[in-house]
Amino acid sequence: MAMSEIPVADEDAGPYGITTGPDGALWLTFVHSGRIARLTLDGELNTFPLESAECGPTVIAPGPDGALWFTRFRDHRIGRITTAGETESFPLPTPDSGPFGITAGPDGAMWFTEMNTDRIGRITGTGEITEYALPRTGSYPSAITAGPDSALWFTLNQANAIGRITVHGDIAVHPLPTPGAAPVGIASDGVALWFVEIAAGQIGRISVDGAIEEFPLPDRTAKPHAIVAAAPGDCWFTEWGANSIGHITRSGQITEYGLPSPSSEPHGITVGPDAAVWAALETGAVARLAR
């Protein structure tokens, strides 16, 4: 498989989140410079400044309205950008909530996590926000994804668990077998949910009925961060500590691909419009791994 890197910013910008937009381009967050970037497959790059350079845009995801939605961790807002680059943002009702993960739900709204205040949020296309309190405090809800069961699934980084919330706000919590695993990224492959355990160096799989499997990485200090599914039993993830992109199959077979630049800090990951795997490198580039 061929790996390449494309510079998109200086090292102070901090490319962090990445997703494929409805326009066939890649969209990124620059967490340190307060910008959203659009990168085409032929290398054309446009960046769009947000109203605050310090807002901390983190995770970005396509919405049901044809726009991209993203969390602003530092100023506690949800942002929206059209494919033409028009931006707006919505303040969260709970102060200092620290939104991080975001995903399109099965109900036509966006769902997101509030890391600092133990809540899951829902925002409509017009900016109407509902918040649901989690049953545990200090749980640090992180990434979130829509599951194959018409519910939302999310990681509870400090509660060492995977959470599930229905579109009506009913919440269930599934503790992880490994203590102190600190799950972060989560993705649905259309059948089950896959997640990464950044502190334990493992990849996890949870079925919709709550059964959990864990697969240790060759390097338990690899610090897996984000994960994306290309197909059932075909998942790709970033290894922040090992400077690699990893792949796992349904049976738990793991393959790792080292990044060309040392200490490049891979974070967000997505399957691109070209079917390649793309990762955001916080040191100022994106990596492309042709499958």
Mean pLDDT score, 112-121: 98
Apex 59 CA angle, 263 and 174, nearest 5:
100
Mean pLDDT score, 215-234: 97
Is residue 289 pLDDT above 90, yes or no?
Answer: yes
Tokens of 258: 């080292």
Q: What is the largest CA-CA distance in the chain?
A: 47
What's the confidence (pLDDT) of residue 278?
A: 98
Q: How far apart are alpha carbons 46 and 254 in whole angstroms?
A: 35
Mean pLDDT score, 265-290: 97
Least confident of 7-11, 112-116, 243-247: 7-11
Is residue 117 pLDDT above 90, yes or no?
Answer: yes
Q: What is the mean pLDDT of the chain?
A: 97
Report pTM: 0.98
How far does CA 277 lie from the centroid of its chain?
14
In the annotated binding site for substrate, the residues are 225
Domain assignments of the chain as residue spans, ordered by start: 3-289
Tokens of 197: 């355990």
In the annotated binding site, the residues are 225, 265, 282
- The alpha carbon dihedral of 131, 269, 201, 33 has a sign of negative
What is the three-class DSSP state of 102? strand
Backbone φ, ψ for residue 268 (5° rounding): -65, 155
Q: How far apart are alpha carbons 221 and 182 in whole angstroms?
A: 13
Is residue 1 pLDDT above 90, yes or no?
Answer: no
User: What one-letter code names the amino acid at 198?
Assistant: I
What's the confidence (pLDDT) of residue 219?
A: 96
Is residue 81 pLDDT above 90, yes or no?
Answer: yes
CB 14 within 8 A of CB 56: no
Nearest-CA neighbor of 236 among 197, 177, 278, 208? 278
CB 266 within 8 A of CB 287: yes
The sheet with strand 152-156 has its strands ordered as: 141-146, 152-156, 161-165, 171-175
In the annotated binding site for Mg(2+), the residues are 265, 282
Mean pLDDT score, 56-70: 98
Q: How confident is the model at residue 291 (pLDDT cuts 50, 70, 90)?
A: confident
Tokens of 30: 């620059």
Q: How far apart are alpha carbons 268 and 253 in whole angstroms?
A: 22
Q: Which of 32, 76, 247, 267 is catalytic?
A: 267
Nearest-CA neighbor of 101 among 227, 197, 224, 11? 227
Nearest-CA neighbor of 173 among 137, 197, 125? 137
What's the confidence (pLDDT) of residue 72?
A: 98
What's the confidence (pLDDT) of residue 96?
A: 98
Is residue 11 pLDDT above 90, yes or no?
Answer: no
CATH for 3-289? 2.130.10.10
Least confident of 10-14, 123-127, 183-187, 265-269: 10-14
Q: Which helix (H) or strand (E) holds 227?
A: strand 224-231
174 is catalytic: no
Q: Which residue in the block uniquely carries the two structure tokens 């997703």?
A: 19
